[in-house]
Amino acid sequence: MEIPYKIYLREDQMPRAWYNLRADMKNKPAPLLNPATGKPMTREELCGVFCEKLVEQELDDSLPYYSIPQPIRDFYRMYRPSPLVRAYCLEEKLQTPAHIYYKYEGNNTSGSHKLNSAIAQAYYAKAQGLKGVTTETGAGQWGTALSMACAYLGLDCQVFMVKISYEQKPFRREIMRTYGASVTPSPSDSTKVGRAILAAKPDTTGSLGCAISEAVEAARSQPGYRYVLGSVLNQVLLHQSVIGLEAKTAMDLYDIKPDIVIGCAGGGSNLGGLIAPFMGERLRGESDCRFIAVEPASCPSLTRGVFAYDFADTGRVCPLAKMYTLGSGFIPAPNHAGGLRFHGMSPILSQLYADGYLEARAVGQREVFEAAEIFARVEGILPAPESAHAIKAAMDEAVCCRESGERKTILFGLTGTGYFDLLAYQRFHDGEMSDYIPNDKELAASLSALPRL
Per CB under 8 A, residues contacting a second copy are 4-6, 8, 10-11, 77-79, 89, 107-109, 111, 148, 151-152, 170-171, 174-175, 177-180, 373, 376-382, 417, 419-420, 422-423, 425-426, 429
CB of 373 to a second copy, least distance (A): 6
Q: Given the complex with a second copy, which of 317 and 384 has the nearer CB atom?
A: 384
Distance in angstroms (rounded) separating the CA atoms of residues 453 and 444: 19
Cα first-last separation, the chain: 57
CB-nearer residue toward a second copy: 10 or 441: 10
Strand partners, 85: 6, 102
Report, in Å, the least distance between residue 103 CB and a second copy: 15
Identity of the residue, 68 or 302, whose beta carbon is nearer to a second copy in the bound complex: 68
One-character DSSP codes across 220-281: HHSTTEEE--SSSSHHHHHHHHHHHHHHHHHHHHTT---SEEEEE-SSSHHHHHHHHHHHHH
Q: How far is the CB of 377 from a second copy (least distance, A)?
A: 4
CB of 396 to a second copy, least distance (A): 21
Under DSSP, the state recorded for 64 is: -
At closest approach, how far in Å is the CB of 388 from a second copy?
A: 12
Q: Report how far apart, in Å, the C-alpha atoms of 64 and of each of 2, 125, 139 are.
A: 33, 23, 33
Nearer to a second copy, 56 or 373 (CB): 373
CB of 247 to a second copy, least distance (A): 16
DSSP string, 273-310: HHHHHHHHHHHTTS---EEEEEEETTS-HHHHSEEEEE
> Closer CB to a second copy, residue 111 or residue 272?
111
E strand spans, 57-177: 65-67, 84-86, 99-104, 132-137, 156-162
Please say which residue, 172 or 282, places its beta carbon nearer to a second copy.
Answer: 172
Q: Which is nearer to a second copy, 76 or 309 (CB)?
A: 76
- Supply the minimum distance, in Å, between the C-beta of residue 77 and a second copy: 4
- Give least dist CB 211 to a second copy, A: 21
* Residue (192 or 377) nearer to a second copy, CB: 377
Gap between the Cα atoms of 284 and 115, Å rounded: 30
Return the number of the residue (95 or 448) whose C-beta is nearest a second copy: 95
436, 366 in Cβ contact below 8 A?
no
Q: Residue 162: what residue type?
A: V
How far apart are CB 100 and a second copy at their closest, in Å?
14
Name the minimum Å distance from CB 390 to a second copy. Answer: 17
Contact, 224 vs 372, CB < 8 A? Answer: no
Sign of the torsion angle spanned by Cα atoms 207, 162, 307, 437: negative
Nearest alpha-carbon partner for 352 in 127, 28, 15: 28
Angle (deg, nearest 10), helices 115-127 and 52-59? 130
- In whole angstroms, give the CA distance from residue 138 to residue 336: 12
**Do residues 410 and 394 lie in contact, with contact meaning Cβ atoms separated by under 8 Å?**
yes
Residue closer to a second copy, measured from CB, 170 or 334: 170
